[in-house]
């Protein structure tokens, strides 16, 4: 069974793209067929997976605007079993264009529907906003992962995010439950790290799953994208690679459903 997971948080720089790229890579290397859909006009996942954001490629924008199909737009990456649906700055105009169409929230869902079965996992890298690109990502997904950066303002804006998800669930009749909350840029040795973890637990702990795996701050994770490769190909043994491999295992353990608490 394939699963479409949006990596979601309107807060900028909390590790959405780093998670999409490196979790996808770890799962692909665990013999899963994986697609990353870059839904961010910044195109960071596209660059991070080694694809030039030039004009020659079909992008998610061309798919959403009906100029190309998903099949025509998918690019293979340096990791076997890991494909990319790239993005570039063209996508920044899509928000306005989409808003003028009928059913503007379900365009991504309709576009990917026929391709879902080719993959075990599809990760959508979502931009840092709660606009139409994000709502399309939630509607298209089966579940969401929310990366939360371990910092003082970590939970600011969380109520808005939950409200946006509730809106999609009730108004558009498209439930996309939280698969898990992921602590990123996390250091358990610092007071701040522990405080944020406790706050997240208080906020979500009763109702939502918090991944046992946390992602540490690791400079290799920040360096790998400039080489256009996931961290696992850049440094197989660093703490960042290890953390995303551990997260992939945790996700694999959830396969087949059941209660993951």
Ligand X SMILES: Nc1ncnc2c1ncn2[C@@H]1O[C@H](COP(=O)(O)OP(=O)(O)OP(=O)(O)O)[C@@H](O)[C@H]1O
Per-residue x/- marks for ligand X, 59-98, CB under 6 A? Answer: ----------------------------------------
Q: Which of 169, 194, 217, 246 binds ligand X (CB under 6 A)?
A: 217
Q: Does 16 bind Mg ion (CB under 5 A)?
A: yes
Q: Which of residues 14-33 bind ligand X (CB under 6 A)?
A: 14-18
How many residues bind Mg ion (CB under 5 A)? The answer is 3
Backbone angles phi, psi at 83, to 5 degrees: -110, 160
Q: Is 214 in the site for ligand X (CB under 6 A)?
A: no
Residue with tokens 């079993």: 81
- Closest residue by Cα to residue 146 from 173, 112, 176, 107: 176
Q: Does 218 bind ligand X (CB under 6 A)?
A: yes
Length of the chain: 261
Stretch that binds Mg ion, among 14-22, 168-176, 180-188, 238-246 (CB under 5 A): 14-22
- 15 is in the binding site of which of ligand X, Mg ion, none (Cβ under 5 to 8 A by kind)? ligand X
Please give the angle made by the CA atoms of 55, 108 and 228, to the nearest 5 degrees: 45
Contact partner at residue 184 from Mg ion, ligand X, none, CB < 5 to 8 Å by partner kind: ligand X
Q: Which is nearer to Mg ion, 16 or 179 (CB)?
A: 16
Site for Mg ion in 24-53 (CB under 5 A): 44
* Binding flag, residue 221, ligand X (CB under 6 A): yes
Question: According to CB under 6 A, which one of 13, 66, 175, 177 is a site residue for ligand X?
Answer: 13
Site for Mg ion contains 184 (CB under 5 A):
no
- From Mg ion, ligand X, none, which one binds at residue 32 (CB under 5 to 8 Å depending on kind)? none
218 is in the binding site of which of Mg ion, ligand X, none (Cβ under 5 to 8 A by kind)? ligand X
Residues making contact with ligand X (CB under 6 A) = 12-18, 40, 42, 44, 128, 184-185, 215, 217-219, 221-222, 225, 240
Residues making contact with Mg ion (CB under 5 A) = 16-17, 44
């Amino acid at each position: 069974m394939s699963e479409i997971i949006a990596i979601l948080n309107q807060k900028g720089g909390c590790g959405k793209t780093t998670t999409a790229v490196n979790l996808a890579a770890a799962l692909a290397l665990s013999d899963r067929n994986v697609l990353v859909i870059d839904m961010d006009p910044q195109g960071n996942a596209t660059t991070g997976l080694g694809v030039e954001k030039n004009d020659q490629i079909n992008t998610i924008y061309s798919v959403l605007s009906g100029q190309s199909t998903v099949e025509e737009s998918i690019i293979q990456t340096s990791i076997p079993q890991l494909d990319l649906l790239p993005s570039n700055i063209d996508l920044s105009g899509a928000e306005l264009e989409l808003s003028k169409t009928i059913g503007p929230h379900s365009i991504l869902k309709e576009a990917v529907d026929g391709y879902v079965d080719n993959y075990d996992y599809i990760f959508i890298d979502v931009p840092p906003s709660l606009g139409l690109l994000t709502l399309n990502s939630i509607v298209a997904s089966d579940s969401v992962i929310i990366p939360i950066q371990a910092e003082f303002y970590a939970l600011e804006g969380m109520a808005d995010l939950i409200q946006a998800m509730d809106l999609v669930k009730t108004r558009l009749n498209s439930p996309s439950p939280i698969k898990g909350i992921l602590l990123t840029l996390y250091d358990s040795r610092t007071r701040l790290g522990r405080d944020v973890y406790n706050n997240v637990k208080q906020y979500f702990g009763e109702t939502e799953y918090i991944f046992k795996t946390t992602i540490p701050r690791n400079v290799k994770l920040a360096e790998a994208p400039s080489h256009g490769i996931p961290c696992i190909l850049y440094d197989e043994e660093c703490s960042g690679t290890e953390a995303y491999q551990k997260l992939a295992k945790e996700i694999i353990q959830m396969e087949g459903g059941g209660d993951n608490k």
